[in-house]
Amino acid sequence: MPETLVSIILPVYNVQEYITECLSSIAAQSFTAGVECIIVDDCGADRSMPLVQEFLNGYHGEIRFRIVRHERNRGLSAARNTGIMNAKGKYVLFIDSDDTISSDCLLRLTEVASKYPKAEMVVAGAKVDWKHLQKYYTMEKAFPDYADNPQWIARVILKKGGKEGIPVTAWNRLLRKDFLLRHQLFFQEGVLREDVLWNFLLSKKLGCVAFCKHNTYFYRKRPQSIMTSFRNGDENARSCLPVWHEILNHFTEEQEKEQAKYLWSSINSANPTGRDRFVRGQVMGILWQLVKKHIWPTSLFILIYMMPPIFQIRFIRKLIAKASSHISMAHISPHT
């Protein structure tokens, strides 16, 4: 039996409509030597696991499939952590069980890993399907083949996607298992937006990254997923508060500006309205700490909008005074 090179980690929970397609894409890989797939049963209530077993009964390929079962539902973070602790491979690859990968995904990723053996992570491009629209996260133009500058790597992760940033996901990355274990880069359990926190912590530890210039992953954004089920922005923001506080507690001086933008972007994407008094107070507290650090969000609309009207004028006056002081200091010459 060949040494295990790649451990695919596949959490399964209530995905009966998609799990067979996902498994089929894994089984169809052109590279299968030394590949295992750890299926983590997170105790769903539908027919996902019977469908998994039915698929495995008919599979006769080289990939070694294993099922690891939780005693109760523990969530995506716990399922991924269980996968990491049970993985035998040099590398781990997270796949969400409602998504699929291209038939050359493992081939492309392992080729890059072999070319750059010091890389702690190999990132490839992906295609996103959402409401019949397609979006590509490509690595073809904006990124080098290999990077070993920790400050640059942190910046492109904290940019959260776009033309110059790496998308905030856990999937579609080949990660060295020893790197994850050495830095204890597990997913925090019991929170939503676990990828936002995990990527933030990852940005503080990565020293070497390689880029695969191919789209190898197909992400399906489901209308019925947890992140699309909130009734309003405040409900969404409430679920994100533990992650935002944790990020703020782990700011580092050398990347403080980029980390603040990362945090601000996450808050902005949650779209809190401020009608929930608790959420308003929590978010205002976080944003005010950024302001006190002389880190100015690209827009202060949400911060001001969430305030009770009686405080808005006072707050704006404080901002103007602080900005004036900051500008005056900026005009002091560094030379005496």
Give the residue, 302 or 6, on which the prediction is more confident: 6
Residue 132 has pLDDT above 80, yes or no: no
Q: Is the per-residue pLDDT at 246 higher than 70?
A: yes
Say which residue, 222 or 96, is predicted with more confidence: 96
Which helix (H) or strand (E) segment is 54 a member of? helix 48-57
Residues 6+ apart with CB under 8 A from 193: 227, 239, 240, 243, 266
Q: Determine the Cα–Cα distance for residues 304 and 193; give it in Å rounded to an integer.
A: 25
Domain with CATH 3.90.550.10 in the chain: 6-226
**Tokens matching residue 179:** 């790197």
Mean per-residue pLDDT over the chain, rounded? 85
Top pLDDT among 92 and 192 is at 92
Question: Could you tell me the pLDDT band of residue 224, with boundaries at 50, 70 and 90?
Answer: low
E-assigned strand segments in the chain: 6-12, 35-41, 64-69, 91-94, 100-101, 121-130, 133-137, 146-147, 173-176, 209-220
67 strand-pairing partners? 39
pLDDT number for residue 23: 98
Residue with tokens 């190898």: 216
pLDDT digit string (tens) for 54-70?
Answer: 999 999 999 999 999 99
User: What's the CA gap between 289 and 75, in Å, rounded?
Assistant: 31
Confidence of residue 327 (pLDDT cuts 50, 70, 90): very low
Q: Three-class SS of residue 29?
A: coil
Q: Do 41 and 71 meet the contact criterion of CB atoms below 8 Å apart?
A: no
How sure is the predictor about 329, in pLDDT bands with cuts at 50, 70 and 90?
A: very low
Summarised one tens digit per residue, pLDDT across range 172-218 is 999 999 999 999 999 999 888 899 999 999 999 999 999 999 999 99
What separation, in Å, do the N-terminal and C-terminal C-alpha atoms of the chain show?
A: 71
Residue 146, beta-bridge partner list: 210
What does the alpha-carbon distance between residue 121 and residue 189 come to, in Å, rounded to a whole number?
A: 23
SS3 56: helix
**Closest Cα to residue 26, out of 44, 3, 9?**
9
| Position 127, amino acid | K
pLDDT, residue 333, reads 32
Helix%, strand%, coil% for the chain, nearest 5 = 45, 20, 40
Quick check: 51 pLDDT over 90? yes
Query: Which residues have C-beta within 8 Å of that of residue 79, sequence separation ≥ 6?
Result: 11, 12, 13, 40, 42, 70
Homologous superfamily of domain range 6-226: Spore Coat Polysaccharide Biosynthesis Protein SpsA; Chain A (3.90.550.10)
